[in-house]
Structure 1
Amino acid sequence: MTDAPPVTSHATMQSRVLDFVRKGGSYRCETQNEQNAALKLNAKGLIRRDRKDGKLWYDAAAETAPDGEGGEGGPDAPDTGVDRLPRAVDPRVEPEGTEIAIPRHDASDLLATVERARRLLDDGDVIAARMLASVAYDQAKLAAQYGERFKAAEKLVGKARQLQGDALLIEARAKIQLAREWDAATEAGQTLKGRPKSVPNENAFTAADAGLSRKEIHEARKLAAAEARAPGIVERAIQARLEAGLEPSKANLRAAVGTSSAPKEDRGDNLYQTPPEAMHTLLALEQFGSLILEPACGRAACSRPLEEAGYTVSLADLVDYGTADRFGEVQRVEDFLTSEALDGQPDIVTNPPYGALLNRFVAHALRVHRPRKMALLLNLNFLCGFDDDDRNFAMDENPPSRVIVFKRRLPMMHRDGWDGPEATSRMNTAWFIWELNEAGEYAGPTEIRRVDWMDHMPAEQAEAAE
C-alpha cells in the first residue's frame, strides 16, 4: 500500500487522498484528517466507502456494473441526460434487463425543480417554494432508494442524496420563514384558533394560508427556535449526513437539531444514573482491557465501579459535572459525536444518552473509535428498527457479539435531580457487547443471553433488594 500523505491543509489533503485512491485503486485512511478528507470526497461522489471497513475507500469512477460492463457507459457513450439503473422486473410483464431512469445531477428535471424552488424562496414566495421543495425531496429520496436497492454506482446514489439534501434545506428554510410569519401574526392577534363557524376575518392568518397543518406549524416553530439558538444548524446537520455518505432525511434532521425530543427544560441534561445492579452484572460477566473510555460519564455511576474493579477509566461528557477519576483527573468536556479516537484504542463502557442522538452515538463509536470491546446499556428495543442508517450500521453491518438481557427489570433510572415519587421501571434493558474478532471486524453472530441481576449482587445488597 502507498505511504500515507502528510498532514496538510483540508483542500490539499482531499487532493492527496483522492490521488492515492486513484493510483492504488483503494486507500485506507489511518488518521482522522485523512478520514475527514475522504468523507468530503465521498460527499462529492468521487470515492466510495467499503461496506464493511469504514476506513477503506475506493475510486467511485472505477466501479463497474455487476456484469462487468462500464457502470457509466464509457467515455464515448451518448449523453442522454439520465443515468440508468437495472430494475427488478416481472419477466411475465416486462422483458429482462428493463432499466429505470434515474435523473442525473447535472442534467435532470429534478435539478431544475430544486433550482426553481430555491428561486421561489429567494423571491419571497415561501409557500410555493416549500411545496415544490417537498416534491423534489420525495423524488430524490425515491431515486436514492432505487439506486441502493439495485446496487447502483455509489456516486449515482450520492447525486440523488445531494439533491435530496438541497431540497430538504430549501423546505426547512421555507418552514422556518412561515413559522416566523405565524409568530408575528400571532403577536399581532391576526391568527385564528380552532374551527370558527363564522367567516374568518379577511386579514387573519390561518394554517391553510401557510400551507401547513397545525401540527406542521408546531414543528416548524421548533425548527425556527433551533435555528435561532444555533444559526446554521439545519444546513450543518444536512451536510454532516451527506459527508458521512448517509441519507439526509427529515427524520434525521429532526433528530440532529433536537426538535423530535422533549424540551430541554423537561429533559435537563439527559442524565439518568446507571443503577449499580447493571454494573455488578456487567463486571461479573465481562472483562475489558486495562484502559476504558467512559464518554458519557455523568456523575461516575459507571466509572466508579469500573475503577473499583481495577480498571483505569478516561472520563468525558458533554456536560461539565466536575467528575474526577481516582487519580483526581477531572473529566473532559466534549461532544462525543465530534470526538476523535484516543491513543491506545481504549475499550468503551457507558450508559449512552437515549432519544434522538442514540443511533448516532453508537455508530460514531464503531466508525471512529473502533474499540476492541464496547459495552452499552441500552433499551432492548435497540434490537429492532430498520429505517435509520446509523441503527442499521450498528446492528446489521457491525453486529454486537452478545446481548445480555435482564429478565428481571433493572430499578428505575430516574432523571438526575428527580425529587418526585420513585416509580417502577417499565423499560426492558440489556448490555449490548461489541467485540472485534481476529480479523478486526465486528461480525457477530449475536448471542442472546438472559440473566438475573440479582444473581450477581453482593450478598448484603441482594438481601436488601428481596
Structure 2
Amino acid sequence: MGNSNFARISHDYYPTPSWMTYGVLDLFIDKQGLDNPIRFDSDWWEPACGEGHICDVLKPVIRGKEYATDLIYRGYGKGGCDFLKQKEAPAGVEMIWTNPPYGDLAEKFVAHALDLMKPVNGSVIMLMRNEYDCSKKRMKLFRNHPAYYGKAVSTTRPRWIEGSTGSPRHNYAWYLWDWRCQNQEPRIFYFNKQ
C-alpha cells in the first residue's frame, strides 16, 4: 500500500468521526438480546477516550455507566491510565469500545480487552482498518476466536485529520466480539456516512 509520506501523530491520536460511531449503532439499535454485541443497557469502558469523540455519541444511547480513560489526558475522562496494565475492568462493565492505537498496540488492545471481558461474558468493539482481519498471525483474534461476532464495514472512508484535503486512503471497520455468542459464524455488516 506504500508509505503515506506523513509523520504519525504522537500516541496515534486520530479522533473518531462521530458518523463512524453512529453508523455502527444504527446497525444494531433495533436488535434485541443475544444477537446484539452492543449492550445498550450495560456499563461500558472507552480505554483510549482522547477528547471523548466516541463517548459523546454513546452517552445518549447506551444507558449504562460510562468509564472513559486514556494514557494521555486530552480534556476528557481520566488520564494517566495505561489500558494494557489494567488487571480488570471497572466493576459492572460489560462492554469495551474504542479506536485503539495502531500497529502492534492494536492487537494487544484487542487481546487484553477480550481477556477482561471473558469473565463477565462481555463485548469488545474496536475500530481498525478493514483488512485488519486478513493477517495470518491475527487469526487467533478472528476466525479462530470463539467470541468473534463479525465486523461492520464503513463504505465511506473516514477523514482522520480535520481540515485535510487529500483523499482518504483506507477503509475501516468496527470489529465485534461477544462472549455470549460463542462459536458462531462471523457476520459482515455495512454502513456509510449519512
Shorter-normalised TM-score: what interval?
0.7 to 0.9
Where does the alignment leave 5 or more consecutive residues of structure 1 unmatched? 1-264, 325-330, 455-466
Report the AA paired with residue 127 of structure 2.
L
Alignment match, 1:307: 59
How far is the alpha carbon of 1:332 from its aligned partner? 4.5
> 71, 80, 83: which one pairs with 1:318?
71
Give 3-state SS (helix, strand or coil) of 2:111's partner.
helix
Q: Structure 1 residue 366: deviation in Å? A: 0.8
Q: Is the 8 A contact 1:403 1:432 kept in 2?
A: yes
What is the identity, as a one-letter code, of the residue corresponding to 1:267?
Answer: I
Q: Write the distance in 2 (CA, Å) between the matches of 1:357 and 1:345.
A: 22
Is this contact kept in 2: 1:399–1:445, CA < 8 A?
no
Pick the structure with more strand per residue. Answer: 2
Residue 160 of structure 2: which of 413, 431, 436 is its match?
413
Kindly name which structure, 1 or 2, has the bigger radius of gyration based on alpha carbons.
1
8 Å contact kept, 1:374–1:433: yes
- Indicate the structure with greater helix content: 1
Aligned-partner Cα distance in 1 for 2:93–2:104: 27
Residue aligning to 1:337 = 84
Q: Aligned runs of 1:50-449 on 2, under 5 Å?
A: 266-286=8-28, 287-288=38-39, 289-311=41-63, 312-324=65-77, 331-342=78-89, 343-370=91-118, 372-387=122-137, 391-395=138-142, 396-409=144-157, 411-414=158-161, 421-437=164-180, 442-449=182-189
Alpha-carbon RMSD: 2.1
Say which SS state the counterpart of residue 403 (structure 1) adopts.
strand
State the one-letter code of the partner of 1:278.
M
Note the alpha carbon deviations across 1:291-313, whole angstroms, 9 max, x for none: 11000000000001111224331
- RCO higher in 1 or 2 (8 Å CA, sep ≥ 6)? 2
Q: Matched residues in 1 for 2:184 and 2:172: separation?
A: 20
Q: Which amino acid aligns with 1:314?
A: Y
Aligned length: 173
Does the Cα contact within 8 Å between 2:147 and 2:178 map onto a contact in 1?
Answer: no
Using a 3 Å threshold, how does the CA distance of structure 1 residues 291 and 368 change in structure 2: closer, same or farther?
A: closer
The one-letter code of the counterpart of 2:71 is: L
Instruction: Name the % identity.
Output: 26
Q: Deviations over 1:4-40 (max 9, x none)?
A: xxxxxxxxxxxxxxxxxxxxxxxxxxxxxxxxxxxxx
C-alpha contact (below 8 Å) 1:437/1:443 kept by paired residues = no
Q: In the alignment, is the contact (CA less than 8 A) between 2:127 and 2:172 conserved in 1?
A: yes
Q: Work out the CA distance in 2 between the residues paired with 1:401 and 1:349.
A: 14
Report the AA paired with residue 185 of structure 2: P
